[in-house]
Chains A and B, each alone.
Chain A
Amino acid sequence: MSDAAIAVRPVRAAPRGGGLTGLLLVFLPVGLLAWLILYPILRAVIRTLVVQTGTGPALSLETYRFFFTDGYSLANLWLTLWVTALCAVLLLAVCLPIALYLRFAKSRIAALVQGLALFPMFVPSVILAYALIRTLGPNGAVDLVLNAAGLPKIASPYLTPAGPVIGLVWDNIPLTVLMLVAGLGNVSDNAVEAARDAGARPFALLRHIILPQIGNALLVVLSFTVLSIFSAFTLPYVLGPASPEMMGPFMQRTFTDVQDPRMAITQAVITFAICAGFGAFYVRSIARNREASR
């Protein structure tokens, strides 16, 4: 596949009648998209804002007022914001060096590094959660090794906020590396060689030549990370503390255990609102990319 494969290229010699056939062929998936993504979001917003009173529907901010005055809800929101920010920073710190290495390396070891960095994509979150408990949990593998070496045990991250952070970073390494490597593909070898010949040190090279050119890719990575981590469920649910909890498990508990769908949907709308900026940026970036490659 070519690099621009993802863009819909203009159709040459479109067959006659393609208009109707095309619309018919895409009708089902588009309908599904409208019914299961657009409609639920619109309905969630309306359902949480409008209440039925004796005199007809009326605007009500009651559930939102509750969320933003309830200490427990706010603590959960803060924890989620913190974990998301920390994961984003850690992911960039871990993945940028790997991506830079993969972009410029020419040795055979690069294939091994790429394989290892993409491997977590093929490890489902539940298995990862279990593996991290057995490795970093109380009396886990790390404790066994430390104990055998005569060292004290670690403070286990299991059931603390550090648990989901470790798990989410681990889980998001492959896509982050892939996206950064794709972004680094825009940096020309010539520019880098020229700067090197002019005596630029690696750090100056990174700051003045490479970073300015991958600014957009960095922002896309950031948006994508925020969108996927902000409402993560499995890893925070299994590895994280019971209280405060991240928004994912909080919404699930409110919906299933507390059986308060209206409140759960309010929480969901709040996550949409917080992520809206990142989502909009992400969409804009996809749209611009497709314009550029057309």
Chain B
Amino acid sequence: MSRRTDWTGILLAAVLGLVIVVPLVVVAIWAFAEVWRYPSVLPQEFGLRFWNATLARPDVWAAMSMSLRLSVTVTALSALICLPAAYAFARLDFPGRNWLFLSFLASHAFPKFGLLVAIAGIFLNLGLISTFWGVVLIQLVGTLMMMIWIPVAAFQSVDRRMEEAARDAGAGPVRVFWSISLPQAAPTIFAALMLSFVGTFYETEGAWLIGAPEIRTMPVLMITFINNQIVVQYGAVLSVLLWVPSFFALLFTRRLVGSQSFAKGFGV
């Protein structure tokens, strides 16, 4: 291994830093700017005035509560429906198992927004447009694949010898699952839960298409702020607030996302 300075790496890091970090830093500066008039490179006045103004808006609180309710409901339902299925795919043998598992991975093979429009056509007849449960259903579809294949990988990596040892010592199947299998799979399953919570929190397209005009989530509110060009800082403050869940996801799921098996799920 050479000890030369890694110029390629430095160059890539610098370019990526410029392109990826700078736009976000600009938003962060806007969030704390009270006066920033062209052509000053930095704001003329910094302060928290617009934080108070944004947080005093009832529509922001309504959207925040709607987003949290949706994300909690969707993640809980998704876990309830998908985790037992993931266990079955990983550990039980039943007819059509491979074929059904493949069909979950294949659910990414359709252009997503086209699919949403097709679903919206059905929801229109069922009266689910612009209702809470309509949005829950559409967002649930988005979490299905991730909540199946990440936990399947987690259940498969559980050490079989420990389970067999527990069974030899007289533990029943439920006890083995609860005390041996689940604790070992838990960190990965937690990461999957985190990813589906955050994914649902930021889901924009289904909420926009199915939820409008009654159901307004944070991302939908953000789009109206951008389109209506009201005070720049409202959008900036909302962006910083909106990014908080993502920050936690970043902390807890980085290892999973960086792993090879994550990319495998996309068929590479």
Contacts and interface: CB of A to CB of B under 8 A. Distances in A.
Interface stretch (A52-60, A63-71, A188-196, A259-267): A259-267
Given A26-B88, A271-B114, A37 B259 contact: no
B114 A21 contact: no
A256 B209 contact: yes
Contacts, number: 348
B97 A22 contact: yes
A265 B103 contact: no
A143 B89 CA distance: 54
B268 A255 contact: no
Interface residues of A, number: 121
A175 B266 contact: yes
Given A41-B115, A122-B246, A19 B94 contact: yes
A8 B109 contact: no
A123 B39 contact: no
Interface in A28-71: 28-30, 32-33, 36-37, 39-41, 43-44, 47
B261 A14 contact: no
Contacts of A127: 24, 27, 222, 239, 242-243
Given A98-B12, A264-B121, A18 B94 contact: yes
A268 B236 contact: no
Contacts of B82: 29
A47 B144 contact: no
Contact of B266 (A5, A220, A256, A287): A220
A124 B226 contact: no
A267 B117 contact: yes
A125 B206 CA distance: 14
A109 B134 CA distance: 46
A147 to B, nearest CB: 5
A248 interface: yes
Interface string A232-255: 111001100000000110011001
Contact of A234 (B81, B105, B204): B204
Nearest to B153: A5
Contact of A233 (B30, B121, B204, B232): B204
B56 to A, nearest CB: 20
B110 A227 contact: yes
A200 interface: no
A286 B111 CA distance: 17
Nearest to B246: A122
B49 interface: no
A185 B124 contact: no
B contact face: mostly helix, strand, loop, or mixed = helix
B10 A40 contact: no
Interface string A109-125: 11011101111111111
Interface residues of B, number: 110
A142 to B, nearest CB: 9
B136 to A, nearest CB: 11
A26 B10 CA distance: 48
A252 to B, nearest CB: 6
B208 interface: yes
Contact of B9 (A12, A110, A228): A110
B121 A18 contact: no
Given A217-B268, A279-B109, A283-B106, A234 B205 contact: yes
A183 B23 CA distance: 30
B183 interface: no
A140 B268 CA distance: 39
B108 interface: yes
15 contacts: A1-B261, A8-B97, A21-B88, A37-B115, A112-B13, A113-B13, A118-B254, A121-B257, A124-B246, A126-B219, A127-B222, A130-B226, A131-B27, A228-B112, A282-B109
Interface of B: 1, 6, 8-10, 12-13, 16-17, 19-24, 26-27, 30, 38-41, 81-82, 84-85, 87-98, 100-115, 117-122, 124, 137-138, 140-141, 144, 148-149, 152-154, 156-157, 160, 173, 188, 202, 204-205, 208-209, 212, 219, 222-223, 226-227, 232, 235-236, 239, 242-243, 246-247, 249-250, 254, 257-268
Given A116-B16, A123-B24, A126-B204, 14 more contacts: A11-B92, A12-B160, A19-B92, A22-B89, A40-B119, A119-B20, A126-B239, A131-B27, A132-B23, A238-B226, A264-B121, A272-B114, A275-B111, A283-B102
Interface of A: 1-6, 8-9, 11-12, 14-15, 18-23, 25-26, 28-30, 32-33, 36-37, 39-41, 43-44, 47, 97-98, 101, 105-107, 109-110, 112-114, 116-136, 139-141, 143-145, 147-148, 170, 173, 175, 178-183, 185, 217, 220-221, 224, 227-228, 230-234, 237-238, 247-248, 251-252, 255-256, 261, 264-265, 267-269, 271-272, 275, 278-280, 282-283, 285-287, 289-290
Nearest 3 CB-CB pairings of A with B: A22-B94, A109-B9, A279-B109
